[in-house]
Amino acid sequence: MVRLQRVGRKHEPVFRLVLTDSKNGPKSGKFLEILGSYDARRGEKAEFKTERVKHWIANGAKLSDTVHNIFVERKIIAGKKINVLPKKSPIVSAPTSEGVRVPTESVGKKPAEEVRGKEEIAETSAEETAVEPEAEKVALETPV
């Protein structure tokens, strides 16, 4: 796996681009090969061994999302950037005195039931209620 390893001081982020085993953590310090360096404050001052990077990618090394985005930006590899920021979660306001209620009908619905129109649902419920009294009459008349 090709990833960034931080080597800079506090408030001065500088990274090494390293090839490491995917089992090693990013802060373990273990790596197989140094493939370059990246200064986050001065993005233009990045130095990569592009031939070695392409060699390892051809041999199956995976890139971290941030490294992938840097390589796409520098046109070392072709492709689109990957979103590395987490999705924003909606801000939930304080619960009211009633609390949060989840309608029980919507929880049990299947997608196919939601597609049907209101008229079809009304017709099927009317048919079900009409069938039930007939079944009761048949049950009362059959005991002989």
User: Which residue is listed with tokens 């990045």?
Assistant: 46
Superfamily for domain range 2-73:
Ribosomal protein S16 (3.30.1320.10)
Mean pLDDT of 10-38: 84
pLDDT in tens, 39-75: 888 876 788 888 999 999 999 989 999 899 988 988 8
Cβ contact 56:2 at 8 Å: yes
Q: In 13-44, which positions are buried (b, 16+ CB within 10 angstroms) versus exposed (e)?
A: ebbbbbbbeeeeeeeeeebeeebbbbeeeeee
pLDDT in tens, 93-132: 766 556 555 555 555 555 555 555 555 555 555 555 555 5
- Say how far apart CA 68 and CA 42 lie, in whole Å: 18
The domain spans of the chain are 2-73, 111-141
Mean pLDDT of 128-140: 56
- Say how far apart CA 64 and CA 7 lie, in whole Å: 17
- Say how far apart CA 16 and CA 120 lie, in whole Å: 64
User: Which residue is listed with tokens 């039931």?
Assistant: 113
Helices vs. strands in the chain: H and E counts, helices first: 5, 4
| pTM for this model (two decimals) | 0.54
For residue 20, give the nearest of 29, 28, 31 by alpha carbon: 31
